[in-house]
Amino acid sequence: MDIVFIKQLEVITTIGVYAWEKSLQQKLYFDLEMAYDNKPAALSDDINLALNYFSVASAVSQFVQKNQFELLETMAEKVAQLIMCQFGVKWIKLTLHKPGALPQAQSLGVCIERGHRG
């Protein structure tokens, strides 16, 4: 199985447990690795047979901006479900970064894998 990836997809949204976090927008970054059979698209040079990077990025950005979560874990789970259902992805590795959340660290976050790589 092939891997289609998007690195450092930046989304501005509201996320957090604390009241002060719920009143401001924060920058998050998504790293997405998705199992997808690229061979049909490669052989035909047809975008309709490919996993469209732009469509995936747009769907993630819109979903995250329209929904508010307290936990990164919940957001990661919901975004993984969205991608798998909407785009027919059988396996996903999603890393969600929240930069600046800890003063002594560049970033923090979660990394999840869902489905079967095949």
Give the angle subtended at the CA of 29 by the CAs of 118 and 78, to the nearest 5°: 55
Q: List, in order, residues 6 or more apart from 113 with CB less than 8 Å away.
A: 91, 92, 93, 94
C-alpha separations of 116 from 2, 33, 58, 59 in Å? 13, 13, 24, 22
Q: How many CB atoms lie within 10 A of CB 83?
A: 23
CA 64, 68, 73, 77 dihedral sign is: negative
Q: Which amino acid is at 100?
A: G
98 catalytic per annotation:
yes
Active-site residue (options: 7, 66, 90, 98)? 98
- Which are the catalytic amino acids? 98
